[in-house]
Amino acid sequence: MGNKGSIAAVVPAAGIGSRMQTNGVPKQYLQLHGTTVLEYSLRAMCGDPRIGEVFLALAADDHYFAELALSQINGVVITPVFGGANRAQSVLAGVQRAQQQGYQWVAVHDAARPCLLASELSAVLDAGISHPAGALLGLPCSDTMKRVDPQLQVVTNVDREQLWHALTPQVFATDLLLHALLQQDLDDPGLTDEAAAVQALGRAPQMVMGQRSNLKITQPGDEYIAAAILAARSS
């Protein structure tokens, strides 16, 4: 397929974001400056010429995406696929379609990460297609880390020296990620990202330094931070 357009983006967007308290509107469809979070995330992924197609995993009863009338961005086709009951199942659906279409690599990105920079995407794509176990964006932990008991009482400090926050995109050879996902129990709550599936095969993905601005909208108030970041960039 060549270098141009040889990577498929997989964006799991079948979740409802229950922690966001958005009165039933999935967090990826919240509006920031008149544009949905999902559109920002998709635009960011379509900003690199190596992305050939986006496989967007949607809930079977999703009616929001059709209202966007969004079939392509920057010439990159947005292909909806049916997602699953959790993130891993949705990613699997997208990766399977990517393999069927002949894409050598896949870049998985959260639907609710609208502030991804082009430089971050380029760096993780470079690493993901050159490292045999793939790559992911991340940030070293900078806060004091504490372990607590079930009553939220502090038990001990945790050494943060080699602890990183895992971000997205995460980039892998399509066959590798597909094999890794098919070997896992997709209902395992510990399977929180794609790197975990690859790690379970005994492989060690490469960590790539990301930006703190690449936040995932998860808790109430995160949308205001994302909106401020996006506004600052457009000013």
Output the domain CATH number for residue 87.
3.90.550.10
What integer pLDDT is reported at residue 190 of this predicted model?
A: 85
- 69 within domain boundaries: yes
- 2 within domain boundaries: no
**CA-angle at 28, arms to 94 and 127, nearest 5°:** 50
Maximum CA extent, the chain = 55
Instruction: Quickly state the pLDDT bin for 23 (edges 50, 70, 90).
Output: low
8 A C-beta contact, residue 226 and residue 114: yes
Reported as type and span, the H/E element at residue 214 is none
Three-state DSSP at 191 gives coil
Instruction: Single out the residue of 40, 33, 38, 21 nearest to residue 221, CA to CA.
Output: 21
Structure tokens at 194: 């794609």
pTM: 0.93
Instruction: Quickly state the pLDDT bin for 17 (edges 50, 70, 90).
Output: low
Query: What confidence tens digit (pLDDT) does each residue in 125-167 have?
Result: 999 999 999 999 999 999 999 999 999 999 999 988 899 999 9
Query: What confidence tens digit (pLDDT) does each residue in 210-231 have?
Result: 999 999 999 999 999 999 999 9
DSSP conformational letter for 68? H
- 1 within domain boundaries: no
Q: Which structural domain, as residue segments, surrounds residue 202?
A: 7-234
- 207 within domain boundaries: yes
pLDDT higher than threshold 60 for residue 21? no
What integer pLDDT is reported at residue 82 of this predicted model?
A: 95
pLDDT higher than threshold 60 for residue 90? yes
Structure tokens at 8: 């498929």
pLDDT higher than threshold 70 for residue 18? no
The number of folded domains in the chain is 1
- 110 within domain boundaries: yes
- In this predicted model, which residue has the larger pLDDT, 21 or 68? 68
What integer pLDDT is reported at residue 3 of this predicted model?
A: 43
